[in-house]
Structures are given as structure tokens and as C-alpha cells.
Structure 1
């Protein structure tokens, strides 16, 4: 048996289609984690199992390739269970050019401090993750899933950005991610929309974040676009 990363091919492909078309020098950053809050056997909160960059057209196959035999992912020699897995992506593209520059700085500091145990590959991957290209979305993470909260959340968001704003809601295991195109926010709301949304109940984090990938596993749950 293999780990199941993709739970619904159609949902995943629809999400990939929704992602912005990449420009020259841009990639998506993807991370597969094992999380203790989904399985008690995981000792650290987030153990990174795999991470990679991808062009939009390669994304489905690269995720599919993560479905290796159960037991291939381990923590201290013990197999990681299926229910611990969750896979995330940066919906804002990463700039490889900016990452090259910041990687040079990071690697130079590593040499300066004589950090002999440093892993140059991991240093570069860290810089890619941090190197946002375009701000296609501002992401608000709501850590709550009460009854009718989804409909209430939609109403509250559109009251703060306008009915014509481009907003995408993602239902996750523990709540919702709300992705808003800042350019599309209607003129009357331009000055205060961000602050007004962060003042809503249950906002955990906001900005340029990783989100669980719809159509894939998140601790036994499958995130979906709403």
C-alpha cells in the first residue's frame, strides 16, 4: 500500500487551474509535512518530509510522485502514519531571481560563521520559500468551523471588500483560508479592508502564507475550494 496524497483528482486539477499563470522566473513552493496535531505518534509539531518547487503544468505529477509506499516516510526510524500527512503550497508565486540573491547572502553568512553542519540545499529552499514574487493574494486564516460560520464568513468578507472583489474561500480541516486579490478590492474599501478583516473573530494569521492544497490530504481531511 502507498500513502495517499491526492484524495480527489478533479478537485486538485481544478485548484491547479485556478492558480495564477506563472511569469518568467516564477515557481510554486510545495511542502509535505507530518503534523503532531493530526497524529499523536509525531513528536514534533511539523516534520518536513519533502519540499520542492514546481511549474504550474508539472504540479499534479510532482504531487502524485509523493505517493510512495507506506513506511517510506519515517521519524526516528518509525513509520509515519497516513493520518499525519498534510501538503501545503504558496499560492503567491515565488521569485527565483530574488531567491538567488538572498541565497548568496545566506550562504555567505553561513561561511562567515563557519557553520560546518549547514546544508546548502536547505538554505536555498528556505530562501525560495521566503521570496514572494507577485502579491496575487492576501491570505487570511480563520481557525474555526462552527455551524453556519462559512456563510457568515462570506458575508463579513464581502462587506469589507465589495461584492465585485476577487475572493476565493478554501475550507480546511480546522477552518477556512480566504484569499483576496488586493487589486480587485472596491475603491470605497481600499484604505481599511485589511485592518477590518484582521479584526474579525477567529483570524489566526494573515499575509503571504502556505495553504493546504485542495483535493489532497490534510490530516485525514480533504480541503476544497468553495
Structure 2
């Protein structure tokens, strides 16, 4: 039986995992495998996904276990279903929060959320999903600020020229994705001469070159070395 393919370039994936920040004892990374309707050639295959993304699997991991946990996603084709419809390979995309998540913050928020739900009539909530949502929101620290440039590679060449004038190379990482480029800034490495205005300058460049002006900050990243709608995200 054929399996879904999630890892497309293991060497790139390992490079990415090594690049991720080391975690503290109460921290984790949050990952989510999506089915994205816009990646499916025949959109009638997944007509019910109105917001483009349908969550198939989400999990947490440290750096040491991340590769094996991603491998576990490569189950037999047909195992991922959406309302009795088999999710096709071409719809898959794996994302990660590159800023660590805090179990301590998530635990406090989860206790409050579950207690609030417990005091109301049952409305269909799932405790596990509630806790996972709190983990996703519980950013531990801001190692990175990301800017998602939804633009053609030719346009990004001009954008990159402007980016290089407002953020020094040592603070920059760039990942090419299926729909554009994620420009990732590590604020701790921005030189002092640029440290006051770099964020506002980056937002202005994003507004100028990207179709999506608001996709910036603590946003999820398509995992380099894995499948994203027929494309493999990579560092450039």
C-alpha cells in the first residue's frame, strides 16, 4: 500500500532542525499537518475546506524527536480523511512554530479554559484539542520575527535588496516556500545601528512587495525539507 510522503529532502530537514533554537526544560515546538485546498488541482476534491486549511494532525516535539515524529506522519494513503473524503497527497503541508512554546504558560491557560468549560453545559469540546490550542498560543520567547512575502521570485529579488539595507545578514534567514519567501529575523543579532527601526522598515517592505500585508510576526513556517503542495521549502 502506498504511503503519504511528508519528508522530501532529509538532509534539508536535518539542517533545519539543527538551526532551530535549543529548548529550555519547559519548552516545546508545535507542529501541524494541514490539508490545503488551494494546492489541489481539482478543487472539487476538498470542497468543504472553506478557509483553505484543514487540520489533519498536530503534535509537539523537542529537537531530538522531531525527525522521527515527522516520519510517523507518513501513514498509508487514505488514513487522512476529511468528511469521508480521502485527502490527496498534493494537499499536504507541514508547518511549525519556530518560536518555542511554553508548557508552563499553556498549563495555566489550559486549567482556566477547562474549568470554564466544565462550568457550562457540554457543547462538544474536546479536552485534548483545547490543551493543544493553548500550547499553540503560549509563545515562550521571541527568538524570531517572520515576514511572509507572498510574491514572485523576480519581485523578491528587489525586496531582498531593500531588506539587506535594513537588516544585517547575520540576523537574517530566508526560506523559499511554494507561494513565496519567509524572511526570518533574529532580533538578538540585529546590529545596534539598525535595531531601532528594522521592524517598521520590514513591514513597509512587506507592504510594498507582498500580496498579504499582515502575515508577519510569530507565524508558522512550512517545514524545510518536507512536502508543501508539490514543493519542498528550502533555505536560500
Moved more, 43-52 or 83-92: 43-52
Whole-angstrom distance in 2 between the partners of 1:72 and 1:6:
17
Structure-2 residue corresponding to 1:172: 177
Structure-2 residue corresponding to 1:68: 75
- TM-superposed CA distance for 1:77, in Å, is 1.2
Whole-angstrom distance in 1 between the partners of 2:191 and 2:120:
49
Give yes or no for contact 1:31–1:48 (8 Å, CA) kept in 2. yes
Unaligned runs of 5+ in 1: none
Q: Which aligned runs of 4 or more in structure 1 are off by greater than 3 angstroms? A: none
- TM-superposed CA distance for 1:23, in Å, is 1.2
Q: Specify the SS of the correspondent of 2:39.
A: coil
Whole-angstrom distance in 2 between the partners of 1:139 and 1:115:
38
Unaligned runs of 5+ in 2: none
CA-atom RMSD, angstroms? 1.3
Structure-1 residue corresponding to 2:65: 58
Structure-2 residue corresponding to 1:132: 139
Deviation per residue, 1:72-110 (Å, 9 max, x gap): 111111211000000000011101111000111111221
Whole-angstrom distance in 1 between the partners of 2:166 and 2:119:
48
- TM-superposed CA distance for 1:116, in Å, is 3.7
Query: What does 1:123-162 align with in structure 2 at a 5 Å threshold?
Result: 123-147=130-154, 149-162=155-168
- TM-superposed CA distance for 1:126, in Å, is 0.2
Residue in structure 2 matching 1:193, options 198, 201, 204: 198
TM-score for both structures, normalised by structure 2:
0.91
Whole-angstrom distance in 2 between the partners of 1:7 and 1:205:
26
Q: Specify the SS of the correspondent of 2:193.
A: helix
- Aligned residue pair count: 224
1:206 aligns with 2:207: no
- TM-superposed CA distance for 1:192, in Å, is 1.5
Query: What does 1:5-154 align with in structure 2 at a 5 Å threshold?
Result: 5-39=6-40, 40=43, 41-42=45-46, 43-44=48-49, 45-147=52-154, 149-154=155-160
TM-score for both structures, normalised by structure 1:
0.95
